[in-house]
Amino acid sequence: MVKQSIQIFARVKPTKKTASVYCVDNEEPAGSILEFLVPKDLADGFINNKKETYKFRFQEVFDQTVKQEDIFEAIAKPVADSVLSGYNGTIFAYGQTGSGKTFTITGGAERYSDRGIIPRTLSYLYQHFSQDSSMVYTTHISYLEIYNEVGYDLLDPRHEASRLEDLPKVTIMEDPDQNIHLRNLSLHQSANEEEALNLLFLGDTNRMIAETPMNQASTRSHCIFTMHVCGREPGSVTVRRSKLHLVDLAGSERVGKTGVCGQLLTEAKYINLSLHYLEQVIIALSEKNRLHIPYRNSMMTSVLRDSLGGNCMTTMIATVSVDKRNVDESISTCRFAQRVALIRNEALLNEEMDPALLIVRLKREIQSLKEELSMVTGEKREDQLTQEEIHKMEELVKVFLDDPDCEVTLALGPDMRKIHYCFSLLSIGNGGGDHPSPPPPVVVPDQKDSPQLQPADLTKLREMLTQRDNEISILPMLQPYKYYSSSSLSSVCDYQSENLSMGKQEAFEIFRRDHEDRLTIEDNKALLKQRSEGKGRPCWELQIQFTSSEVEEVDPVEENIRRQMDEEKKSYKSTFGHLKTLKMEIEHLQLLLEQSKVKLQRDFQDWWSQEAARLQVTSLPLFVRCRGMSLHKSFIPLTGDQQTDADILGFIRARHNLLNRTGTVHTI
């Protein structure tokens, strides 16, 4: 059992303006200090007892210049290591809307270096799985969304095709041991990092996102990405089961300050209410001798019961905005983090006995005891060896004969049938029956111009050539992955022209030239092209290297051949690891380009609708006055029902030309 308090960290959102309302002190031995400076307002009167400085202590405070990689190393990596050891782990971000919670947990969609905690943790865990040969791991992933206090499965394949109200709702069920079970929440097995990232991107696509006055892409729901890890040693009946919760909470907001209404107001009410229930649980856990903890008040606190005061190692990230208008919300976030730091969790090592493996081991022990008993009593077993046992005995004898170590033994167990069969295989003069005869001796013809090789040398050379063939046969496995070629990269973010008229397509070209994400898309396309071109070269060089080594391996000196083998193995492993890293980076860049394409299409449709609406209003004469030009007057006689794509395009082209020539347009 490991007893520790919840670890709290703070991250300051970067701002373009110079912020003088805060300061960070990372030199303290007991932790970092985040201090806010709030000068007194003269409008409150001469007598004003408000505090001017607010100090908060964290494990570490990350200022505006800290990169995503540093966040992962300091916060997520220790939690991931505890999950590998068999402990439950939770990382959640808390703060007001627009303070950078989603960017910290999930990451940005513009650059590969902007990956957040979830994709970096997945990469770290699966890299450990592939390197640790002493354990066998299986992983399952779930993605839960809590929207307006109702749970939905983000990995449901019907999520995109159906309305949110038509989807099955995730409900909470509790067993007699007070363990929480989620009904209608699917678990998806992921064998590698690629499958896990695909599930993550699918869930992020299905999330509820809306534009608010505080944030252009505000997440309107709480999302819990859970990874279930099961590890066991080969042949062992002990299984370690752990789970990792990565939580992206929706941001709190003051309705009176933001002025939202309608559906956004309803969403804000549910978000603030669930965060209020979370704070009630935190306060109850921090108080001593508190008998009742109100976990059941909300769905989020029920799901995170183990993470708050239970069997889990929990870490909190408080994201704060240092703009002057957001200082009060940032101070409130830091106060919440200080209350969270008072909670102590008791993490237990989640080990259990697998019943299926235990039954197999007990059956094996019973069979072994029966065989020992038959040897002691002298009873002869009447049943014959099965074909599977015969094949296994032949493999054991082959390994025994090929092993150069003279101290090696042939372990057969206390079964006289197996002993007699293996003895017949090893007998030189066995007359056969159904047993295989020993292979004929190798005859090497005499050659005057070539060195004389012994049969043992020839056998080793054949084994080396077989190993080379096996290594070369692995190379075609790298080919099935499809990457964009240089010709197709130019059309990655192109719009679907067959669905557009000629006028609308020309308007799209004008819109894409002036779009704010154009430079980011071009940079990602260039980086993807560079990575794709560099993907194939190591494979070709590696293949040439292996092919040439087969010709040069006619060497009578065994030591030189062994040295060449070791060098080529190291080169092969290094090249294969490089290819694997490039593959993951290329796939991530492809997904970023695809997301940019979808965003560009959505923005164009909104822009096109706005231009059509603007043209529809101009039923009166339109006067356009340009700086440095004479007064220009044009009439648009068409009504809204008679407008075509050509009319809207002419309207856009005229406005665009005037902007390029003068920089200002005044509509009277």
Q: Are 208 and 221 in contact (CB under 8 A)?
A: yes
Instruction: Tell me whether strands 238-248 and 222-232 are parallel, antiparallel or unpaired.
Output: antiparallel
Q: How far apart are CA 157 and CA 480, in angstroms?
A: 26
Q: How far apart are CA 440 and CA 212, in angstroms?
A: 83
Question: Edge-to-edge strands of the sheet including 622-625?
Answer: 632-634, 622-625, 666-667
Would you say 203 is a known binding-site residue?
no
User: Which residues 6+ apart lie within 8 Å of 613 measured at CB?
Assistant: none
Q: Which SS3 state, helix, strand or coil, does residue 305 take?
A: coil
Q: How far apart are CA 311 and CA 348, in angstroms?
A: 6
Q: Which SS3 state, helix, strand or coil, does residue 625 take?
A: strand
Would you say 98 is a known binding-site residue?
yes
Angle at 581 between CA 580 and CA 584, to 5 degrees: 90
pLDDT at 628: 40
58-95 in b/e form (b: 16+ CB < 10 A) is: bbbbbbeeeebeebbeebbeebbebbbbbbbbbbbbbb
Q: Where are the beta strands (DSSP E) in 308-418?
A: 313-320, 344-347, 351-353
Q: How far apart are CA 601 and CA 597, in angstroms?
A: 6
**H-helix or E-strand spanning residue 23:** strand 22-25
Give the residues of the chain that fall short of pLDDT 70. Answer: 1, 18-20, 41-49, 161, 209-218, 255-260, 375, 378-383, 414, 428-455, 457, 465, 467-504, 515-518, 531-556, 615-649, 651, 653-668
Instruction: Tell me whether strands 622-625 and 666-667 are parallel, antiparallel or unpaired.
Output: antiparallel
Question: Which one-letter amino acid corresponds to residue 485?
Answer: S
Alpha carbon of 80 to those of 68, 132, 228, 258: distances in Å? 16, 15, 12, 38
User: Which residues 6+ apart lie within 8 Å of 196 measured at CB?
Assistant: 122, 126, 139, 141, 190, 227
Structure-token pair, residue 299: 């769905």
- Which 3-state string (H, E, C) describes 45-110? CCCCCCCCEEEEEECEEECCCCCHHHHHHHHHHHHHHHHHCCCCEEEEEECECCCCHHHHHCECCC
pLDDT at 619: 40
**Percentage of the chain lying above the pLDDT 70 cut:** 70
Q: Which SS3 state, helix, strand or coil, does residue 657 take?
A: helix
Would you say 332 is a known binding-site residue?
no
Q: How far apart are CA 69 and CA 438, in angstroms?
A: 61
pLDDT at 90: 93
Would you say 238 is a known binding-site residue?
no
Closest alpha carbon to 618 in 598, 646, 647, 591: 647
Kindly report the pTM of this predicted structure: 0.57
Cβ–Cβ contacts within 10 Å for residue 267, how many?
21
Would you say 102 is a known binding-site residue?
yes
pLDDT at 533: 64
Would you say 171 is a known binding-site residue?
no
Alpha carbon of 447 to those of 443, 456, 555: distances in Å? 12, 18, 16
Q: What is the pLDDT of residues 46-88, one digit of tens each?
A: 566 677 888 999 999 998 889 999 999 999 999 999 999 999 9
Check residue 115 and report its DSSP letter.
B
pLDDT at 206: 80
Structure-token pair, residue 253: 């907001």
Q: Are 193 and 122 in contact (CB under 8 A)?
A: yes
Q: How far apart are CA 474 and CA 572, in angstroms?
A: 11
pLDDT at 318: 93
